[in-house]
């Protein structure tokens, strides 16, 4: 069995390692926070444009369907009365009927052509999303790895602290109880952040794979809808993970007792 001195030495080394990891995470976040938030803002702007495109698509679709209905209805209603009109009147009625039919046809064509994937490809936003997501994933992957190291260190500290508390030869049990509580709280926080980071990275990775597929060919309506939903969801997830990293930084500051300004 390890002596009290050895247990204290092990705990001290783990605490120093955790402090070092905490400092590394805070430095890493400070270095990348501005760019991460900039990426999120640019990405959310594209997401807003997608929402507008979606609203426009729905409006165009409804207008197209109404125009089709109006055109068909006008032709049906006009036909019985053309026999009682003068030649000029009949010609006007026919011309108006053709105009309405053209509007209806145009509306229908617009509905078919209202493809967000194609629009994004043409206006360059698809390429921009790919660039932003690729850069963002690279940053949060590195921060996820640091968070994982902190989590593993917390687990080891918690295990060693529990073992130390079971040793009646320890002189300052109260201090170890306090350390154990702080480590447990920090450990739970790192699990939350780590889980979210893994989820976001996985989602963005799948989005990039889907991008490669949907922009090679004309997207089906189902793929177009999936693309819209994925962009909107991932924009929210990107914002959330940056906010959680920020909270994590504050948790680490509180744990280490750092007095440095945010």
pLDDT of residue 2: 53
Domain limits for position 42: 4-53+116-256
CATH number at residue 192: 1.20.120
Instruction: Decide if 191 is inside a domain.
Output: yes
Determine, yes or no, domain membership for 78.
no
Q: Could you tell me if residue 82 is inside a domain?
A: no
Supply the pLDDT for residue 104: 45
> Is residue 48 domain-resident?
yes
Within a domain: 106: no
The verdict on pTM exceeding 0.75 is: no
Domain membership of residue 92 (yes or no) is no
How many domains would you assign to the chain?
1
Which pLDDT score, from 0 to 100, does residue 85 have?
41
- As given in the structure block, the two tokens for residue 147 are 């968070």
Q: At what angle do helices 116-123 and 125-165 cross, to 10 degrees?
A: 100
Residues (pLDDT < 70) of the chain are: 1-5, 7-8, 57-114, 162-176, 258-262
CA distance 55 to 118: 16
Q: Can you give the pLDDT at residue 79? A: 46
Q: Residue 135 falls within a domain, yes or no?
A: yes
204 in Cβ contact with 144 (< 8 Å): no
């Amino acid at each position: 069995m390890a002596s009290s001195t050895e247990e204290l030495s092990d705990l001290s080394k783990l605490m120093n390692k955790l402090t070092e990891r905490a400092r590394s995470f805070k430095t890493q976040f400070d270095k990348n926070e501005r760019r991460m938030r900039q990426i999120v803002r640019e990405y959310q702007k594209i997401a807003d444009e997608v929402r507008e495109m979606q609203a426009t698509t729905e409006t165009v679709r409804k207008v197209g369907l109404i125009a089709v209905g109006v055109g068909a209805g006008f032709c049906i209603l006009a036909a019985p009365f053309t026999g009682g009109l003068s030649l000029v009147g009949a010609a006007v009625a026919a011309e108006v009927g053709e105009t309405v039919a053209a509007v209806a046809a145009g509306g229908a064509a617009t509905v078919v052509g209202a493809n967000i994937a194609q629009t994004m490809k043409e206006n360059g936003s698809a390429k921009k999303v790919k660039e932003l997501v690729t850069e963002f994933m690279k940053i949060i992957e590195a921060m996820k790895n640091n968070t994982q190291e902190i989590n593993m260190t917390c687990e080891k500290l918690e295990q060693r602290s529990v073992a130390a508390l079971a040793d009646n030869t320890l002189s300052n049990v109260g201090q170890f109880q306090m350390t154990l509580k702080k480590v447990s709280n920090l450990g739970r926080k790192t699990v939350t952040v780590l889980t979210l980071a893994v989820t976001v990275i996985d989602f963005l990775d799948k989005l990039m794979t889907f991008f490669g597929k949907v922009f090679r060919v004309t997207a089906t309506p189902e793929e177009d809808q999936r693309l819209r939903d994925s962009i909107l969801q991932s924009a929210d997830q990107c914002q959330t993970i940056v906010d959680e990293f920020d909270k994590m930084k504050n948790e680490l500051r509180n744990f280490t007792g750092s007095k440095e300004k945010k």
